[in-house]
Structure 1
Amino acid sequence: MLLNLLVLLVPASLALPNDIVQRELKPVKGVGHSRLYLYQESFQGTFRCLDGSRTILFSQLNDDYCDCPDGSDEPGTSACGNAFFYCSNVGHTGNFIPTNRVNDKLCDCCDGSDEYNSGVDCPNICDELGRAARVEKERVSAIARKGFAKRKEMARQGQELRASKLKDVEPLRAEKAKLAPELAALEEGKKDAEQNERELQDEHRKAWEEDRDEKKKVRAAELFEEIDLNKDGKIVSDEMRLNLYLDENRDGLVSEDEVKTYLTVDEADSEHFQTVMYDRLKVAKKNYEEDLRQKAKEGEEAHENVPDDDELLAEEDRDEDHPADVAHHEDDEDKMPEYPPEVTAASEDAREARRQFDELNQKLADIDAKIREAEEFSKEDFGEDLAWASLKDKCFDRNVQQYTYEFCPFGQNTQKDTGAYSGTSLGSFKKWSGPEGEKYTRQHYGDGQQCWNGPKRSTDITIQCGVENELVEVTEPAKCEYEFTFRTPLACPDPDVGVHEEL
């Protein structure tokens, strides 16, 4: 690449006459064969700097003095700091080094040609390096050939997958259009059935509430009469204190404070009693009687105001005469009875209408999801041959110490404790991030889980050629910024298309 750049920088005015082109090219130290034509002596015995800025005597080439601003007159010495020396490296690969490394007593060229005048004897190891390089090149080439063969197969799979998804889009849209009116009809039927259900339920509930309220009025009046000892239509504190079920601390006496818990006015008429006091008094009385029954069953000594044994026996007899539990009789009245058959039938009709609507609605939602998935799939960048589509919805993991890292191409990357079901998001796919001309060599994943006192987690994926798809390396070079190395046949180039290097 550097050689091509240097040649492109040569002005058109430096094109040499035909007489030089026709002559045998003479070697010049530090100049590769492909550029020798630029360094041949003209009939005038001159040399034109490669940037076209000056013309100097040909004898000034490699005279250890920098005459050209671009350093092109000193390719074989260290006189210019901006020039390059070509190592021919016969038996290996030729390469350029900066001319400031020439004769610096360090062997940079494998043939030692850069130290021709430093007094250092550099061994020629080009054959040895060349053999090793050819072995490595053959190894890499073998991997590339196997990988590229798999890539072609994966490309075929990706293309078939895309075609399969897209071919279903139009039939799915037609099915959706056909089912839409049916869904609208089912929705209307569902609304009618639910409205009928609500109306019948409300009617039943209203009738029950009216009946319950009437019964409550009767029970409240009975309890009012029971407490109103002087029958003056008013309940006062002294009358309340005679009811031991108000003895909350169970000390045998009903205090003024205990009375005020229920009686918040000086005197209560029947209306105030029913609306404010009855419900709480009912609960207090029920709890007290339950305590008495429990103590009687456990054989404990009766409280001084507890009814005598004859009364308890009479109460037990009354309980036996009523199969339903007397203690819960009023509670049962406060519980709405089951719906009658016509309401139950309406509820069943509503349930069936909802079931049919939900079933078809879910079917349409599934159709929408498939259409959306196919459209998004068709817009995804899976490479020119769609080979990367074959890895969509697949994941690859690697264990590193106590963690398992998971890489899901075009999805989300995670870190989790080994063996755990869920983990921490390291980012979702954002873009291909390879450099220009090598776009498909890197991927970036961002917007992962927020790091404590740090950024959102992210992952950059380096993609290398390999025979198998495998996550081979995981690192964290910066806090919450991860680097994955992923090997895959998809990164293997065609081994028959290569770059020829100058030897």
Structure 2
Amino acid sequence: MLPKLILICCLAVITSGSIPRPRGVADSNASHYQPNSENVFVCIDGSQSFPYTYVNDDYCDCADGSDEPGTSACPNGKFTCTNIGHRPLIVPASRVNDGVCDCCDGTDEYSGNIACVNTCNELGKKHKEEVERIMKLQEEGVRKKKEFAESGKKMKEEKKARLEQLQADREAAETERQEMEAKKDEAEAPEKEAKDRHQKAWDEEKARRSAEKDAAAGMTAFNELDSNNDNFVDVLEMVVHNEFDIDSNGVVSEEEAKEHLEEVEKVDQDTFVSKIWPNVKQIYKPLVPEEAQSDGEASPPAEPQGETATPPTPETPTQDDSDEKMPDYDDETKVLIEAADVARNSFNAADEKLKSIDREISSLQSYMNLDFGNEEEFSVLKDQCFEYTDREYTYKLCVYERASQRPKSGGSETSLGTWGRWSGPENDRYSSQLYERGQNCWNGPDRSVKVHFKCGPENQLTNAYEPSRCEYAFDFITPVSCSGKVSPLDTHAHDEL
């Protein structure tokens, strides 16, 4: 680099009259590059001032690099491409005269070391076409958005009116239910009394029948045991029955027989039926006549050692008394039952009507509490589900409800989260939604999804990815995100400088 004094001497002398804007200056900063009456330049950050001849002298004097907008002398300098026919472009000053054409008009390569072809008009035309395409897309999206908003507002008003009507209907339904419940209780009281009376009579009848059967079985057993027909059952008649073997040694002793006879030598029929039979009826077995055995009937198998319980005798009823069918109700009770049934049916209908109203009220209140955007435009997405499939998974988004993924090869669905809240920045709140509290990751957090909304011609889930472990992101295009304005971010990616 030449000494400072030599560079200054070699630069054009500032004379009175108009001073052209220095190379690389943006329109927004042009006012800073008009020398005052003393031909002094002040750094844009105001830190220093010096002769205007220091501007673009290939020596960095300002800390902010503002004195070298057209050279690469300052590491933090910025060069503005004029790009007439296209749009201005700011590039790092380090790219000035580096042998690469960064500006479409080639103004960054003024040293002559490389010849740049001016492509600004061509790029400007393409950029204009792209802007027009995006504008058309935005306009169509805005048109649909307005339709969705009108539909959403209408829907909300209808649901609001329906909710108000249901709240009024609920009061009447609650009153009706209370009336039907009172009538039901009034009809069921005499019904219950009559049924209880009928049941009590039946229980007494079953008890009487059971007692008769038991007494008959006891008398049969007494007659079988009274082998000498002296109208008594004594110890000697008991010892021949192996089922009375208490210690299971294969022999019934007189003491064991006497124990079954309540410690007496013999009992008559009445005593046997009333006192002895209730204690022995579960183990008693009638003897098989010898002639029956000689005719080829097999003898009853010997009782296993240590077992005393035996099946009931054939005379003992094997059918539980509770299996007997209760007689029909009398006509008076049937009338009471019929009246109670009518009251119950009326109450059940009133109760279900109230529950149905409550369910609908709850559903409407949930809908009314949802934030569908400033103009209710997002309501069109409610109750709709969308899918996107990549190489491994199919992702599913049910807007305002849940998000999930499932393997393409088959398998169970994994919850990525349920509806949480709008999560866009303060100046663009409706640009993203958060779905949270999904299935827990092993040794990690619960899964969650952030859905990013962008302007598009149709409602479509276009991408799914995982920026960080167990935290997913979906890209969703929809007309309801169209604003009618073109952001520079919408077209930068299409510039080919």
Cα deviation for residue 156 of structure 1 reads 0.9
Unpaired stretches in structure 1, ≥5 consecutive residues: 1-22, 244-253, 286-300, 307-325
Q: Give the match's secondary structure for 2:435.
A: strand
Task: Read off the aligned partner of 1:304 and give its amino acid letter.
Answer: S
Instruction: Measure the CA separation in 1 of the matches of 2:445 and 2:145.
Output: 36
Instruction: Measure the CA separation in 1 of the matches of 2:90 and 2:237.
Output: 114
Report the counterpart of residue 488 of structure 1 in structure 2: 478
Task: Read off the aligned partner of 1:77 and give its amino acid letter.
Answer: T
Matched, 1:370 2:364: no
Instruction: Measure the CA separation in 1 of the matches of 2:158 and 2:80.
Output: 55
Q: Percent identity?
A: 35
Indicate conservation of the 8 Å contact 2:135/2:486, yes or no.
no
1:28/1:450 CA distance change after superposition, 3 Å? same
Report the counterpart of residue 440 of structure 2 in structure 1: 450
Instruction: Measure the CA separation in 1 of the matches of 2:236 and 2:83.
Output: 120
Counting only pairs closer than 5 Å after superposition, residues 205-244 of structure 1 correspond to structure 2 as 205-227=199-221, 229=225, 241=242
1:379-407 C-alpha deviation (Å, 9 max, x unpaired) = 32211111111222222233446754332
Report the counterpart of residue 167 of structure 1 in structure 2: 161
Report the counterpart of residue 246 of structure 1 in structure 2: none
Counting only pairs closer than 5 Å after superposition, residues 341-380 of structure 1 correspond to structure 2 as 341=330, 342-380=332-370
Cα deviation for residue 117 of structure 1 reads 3.8
Structure with the higher helix share, 1 or 2: 1
Indicate conservation of the 8 Å contact 2:131/2:486, yes or no.
no
Report the counterpart of residue 57 of structure 1 in structure 2: 51
Instruction: Measure the CA separation in 1 of the matches of 2:483 and 2:241.
Output: 98
Instruction: Measure the CA separation in 2 of the matches of 1:276 and 1:100.
Output: 114
Report the counterpart of residue 113 of structure 1 in structure 2: 107
Q: Give the match's secondary structure for 2:169.
A: helix
Cα deviation for residue 268 of structure 1 reads 7.6
Instruction: Measure the CA separation in 1 of the matches of 2:322 and 2:74.
Output: 109
Aligned residues: 432
Report the counterpart of residue 291 of structure 1 in structure 2: none
Counting only pairs closer than 5 Å after superposition, residues 249-398 of structure 1 correspond to structure 2 as 267=260, 302-305=297-300, 330-331=319-320, 334-341=323-330, 342-398=332-388
1:21-75 C-alpha deviation (Å, 9 max, x unpaired) = xx86622122112321111111111112222222222122222333223222222
1:472/1:497 CA distance change after superposition, 3 Å? closer
**More deviation, 55-64/402-411:** 402-411
Indicate conservation of the 8 Å contact 1:463/1:488, yes or no.
yes
Q: Looking at CA atoms only, which structure, 1 or 2, has the larger radius of gyration?
A: 2
1:484/1:94 CA distance change after superposition, 3 Å? same
Instruction: Measure the CA separation in 2 of the matches of 1:28 and 1:234.
Output: 139
1:144-189 C-alpha deviation (Å, 9 max, x unpaired) = 2222111111111011111111122332222222232221111222
1:208-239 C-alpha deviation (Å, 9 max, x unpaired) = 23332333333334444555636559999957
Instruction: Measure the CA separation in 2 of the matches of 1:468 and 1:482.
Output: 23
Instruction: Measure the CA separation in 2 of the matches of 1:98 and 1:266.
Output: 117
- TM-score by length of structure 1 reads 0.72
- TM-score by length of structure 2 reads 0.73
Counterpart among 87, 90, 101 of residue 93 in structure 1: 87
**More deviation, 417-426/127-136:** 417-426
Report the counterpart of residue 454 of structure 2 in structure 1: 464
1:413/1:303 CA distance change after superposition, 3 Å? same
Q: Give the match's secondary structure for 2:427.
A: coil
CA RMSD of aligned residues (A): 4.3
